[in-house]
Amino acid sequence: MLAQDEGFEPFLHFDSPAQAETYLRGERGTPAWNAFFFYRHGARNDANAARAPHTMAVLDSLPVVRIRGHAPETLFSVLTPGSHILPHCGVTNTRLVVHLPLIVPPGCALRVGGLDHAWQEGKVVVFDDTYEHEAWNRSDSTRVVMILDTWHPDLTDVERAAITDLVGVIGDFNGAADAA
């Protein structure tokens, strides 16, 4: 997939280079944080799903967060050499972020809540992204991590259903008010 370079897009879209610099920096060259989305804001990317049918089958079998118009978010996260995703926080602790490192050259790491974690290929990392976190690739090679969101295990089924309904309705309201 990396060699074909099809189906990848920037993870974040910016209105200006100045806005991009608040999220992403390059230690050398132009930084890039790209994604091969299987689901983005709850919408399935059929073209990407067709390129990786076995991966898609596994993803569809997992207890990922499913909220109309919002989740799941499942992707291959690609961080180019020298790129640094600057410190940031997620918006809710009702979910946990799962990282499955697939290609991790030396010099790549994740910092969550002030603690550094060097990814190891095939060893899953799960964290609450409402804690400040950042990631970097200080190597000369591309880093690839599968990312997906799962429900926080402390939530009951009733709480998950309530959050699903509430977030869906808030999304509908924001869409109708053009406040997205």
Contacts made by residues 103-106, CB under 8 angstroms, sequence distance 24+:
103/141, 103/142, 103/143, 103/144, 104/143, 104/144, 104/145, 105/137, 105/139, 105/140, 105/141, 105/142, 105/143, 106/139
Domain ranges of the chain: 9-176
pLDDT score recorded for residue 124: 96
Q: Say what the pLDDT of residue 179 is.
A: 61
Q: What are phi and psi of 179, to 5 degrees?
A: -105, 10
Q: What is the per-residue pLDDT for 29?
A: 76
The series of mean pLDDT values per 10 residues for the chain, 180 residues long, is: 87 82 84 94 95 95 91 95 95 94 96 95 96 96 96 96 92 79
Q: Which residue type, as a one-letter code, is found at position 117?
A: H
- Cα–Cα distance between 75 and 8 in angstroms, integer? 10
CA distance 112 to 134: 7
Rounded distance between C-alpha atoms, residue 27 and residue 83, angstroms? 6
Q: How far is 59 from 53, CA to CA, in rounded Å?
A: 10
Q: What six digits make up the tokens of 69?
A: 């118009």
Superfamily for the 9-176 domain: B-lactam Antibiotic, Isopenicillin N Synthase; Chain (2.60.120.330)
**Which 3 state secondary structure label does DSSP give 76?**
strand
pTM of the shown model: 0.90
